[in-house]
């Protein structure tokens, strides 16, 4: 199987590190023109310059966007789509703050809703007219295993990501007639800054060592290791390709077998 995404334009959120970076890199390796989004222009510049270029017409660019400020994000993303079109949309944002459900206030959930749901909805709806016009498109949502079974200390993420999954499934049925697919990747434990931060937060709360907490997480995974960002990119590249043209409305665990242990 040789995945070629030449002439395809991809837009990838939160892409200067971790899973987003892994996705953007693999799409670039497959020949796509990649636009990466993040709030740090310095990191974006450095990352774009490092993306692979595999053919003469391939071009990469960046978009400075802060997912945590929805009103500003809305202005930025609408301006982007006024001048650009996207064939492959990867909805990925930074995660909300960890914490217990009993400690979170209604306004915390509103902020998480803006971050995880409204940005995805806004971006997707802006991408759809071009996809419908060309009768083809790929939308991939970076989600979490927490939609299957809530993860402790992640009340905000557990709640809002489930709403995104339900919305995406509903939308997938509406747009399938236009050969547009929308799928969700249910993320397990990957070796990223996000997981390191969550481990540190848990260590501070429990008084345990970060090393022991990481090891405990790894031991829960049948493969006994954290995932690699490039492995995430491999799945997304497949979902973005012609080989996944008949796959839509799916929520695919990528977790080293962890989902099967629930």
Residue 218 lies inside a defined structural domain of this protein: no
In-domain check, residue 197: no
Q: Which residues of 163-197 are buried (b: 16+ CB within 10 A; e: fewer)?
A: ebbebbbebbeebeeebbbbbbbbbbbbbbebbee
Q: Does residue 223 form part of some domain?
A: no
Report the DSSP beta bridge partners of residue 78. Answer: none
Q: Where do the DSSP E strands lie in the chain?
A: 9-12, 33-38, 61-64, 88-91, 137-144, 180-187, 251-254
- Rounded to 10 degrees, the C-alpha dihedral 46/51/53/54 comes to 170
pLDDT digit string, tens, across residues 125-181: 999 999 999 999 999 999 999 999 898 889 999 999 999 999 999 999 999 999 999
Total number of domains constituting the chain = 1
Assess whether pLDDT exceeds 80 at residue 262: no
213, pLDDT greater than 80: yes
* pLDDT tens digits, one per residue of 42-57: 999 999 999 999 999 9
195 domain residue, yes or no: no
Lookup result for tokens 């949502």: 141
Domain containing 243 equals 9-189+229-257
Alpha carbon 67 to its chain centroid, in Å, reads 12
**Domain-located, residue 203:** no
Q: Give the model's pLDDT for residue 146.
A: 92
pTM tops 0.85, yes or no: yes
Asked if the structure places residue 215 within a domain, the reply is no
The CATH number given to whatever domain includes residue 180 is 3.40.50.720
């Amino acid at each position: 199987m040789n995945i070629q995404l030449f002439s395809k334009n991809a837009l990838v959120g939160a892409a200067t590190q971790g899973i987003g970076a892994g996705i953007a890199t693999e799409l670039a390796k497959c020949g796509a023109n990649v636009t990466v989004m993040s709030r740090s222009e310095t990191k974006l510049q450095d990352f774009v310059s490092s993306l692979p270029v595999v053919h003469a017409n391939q071009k990469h660019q960046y978009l400075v966007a802060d997912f945590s400020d929805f009103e500003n994000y809305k202005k930025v993303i609408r301006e982007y789509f006024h001048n650009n079109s996207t064939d492959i949309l990867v909805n990925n944002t930074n995660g909300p703050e960890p914490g217990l459900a009993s400690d979170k206030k209604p306004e915390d959930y509103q902020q998480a809703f803006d971050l995880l749901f409204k940005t995805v909805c806004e971006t997707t709806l802006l991408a759809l007219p071009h996809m419908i016009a060309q009768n083809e498109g790929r939308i991939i949502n970076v989600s979490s295993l927490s939609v299957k079974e809530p993860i402790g200390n992640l009340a905000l993420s557990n709640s809002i990501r489930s709403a995104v999954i339900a919305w995406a499934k509903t939308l997938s049925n509406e747009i399938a007639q236009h050969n547009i697919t929308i799928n969700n990747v249910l993320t397990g434990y990957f070796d990223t800054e996000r997981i390191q931060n969550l481990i540190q937060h848990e260590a501070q709360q429990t008084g345990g060592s970060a090393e022991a907490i990481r090891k405990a997480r790894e031991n829960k995974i049948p493969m006994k290791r954290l995932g690699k960002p490039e492995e995430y990119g491999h799945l997304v590249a497949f979902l973005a390709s012609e080989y996944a043209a008949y796959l839509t409305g799916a929520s695919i665990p990528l977790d080293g077998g962890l989902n099967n242990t629930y």
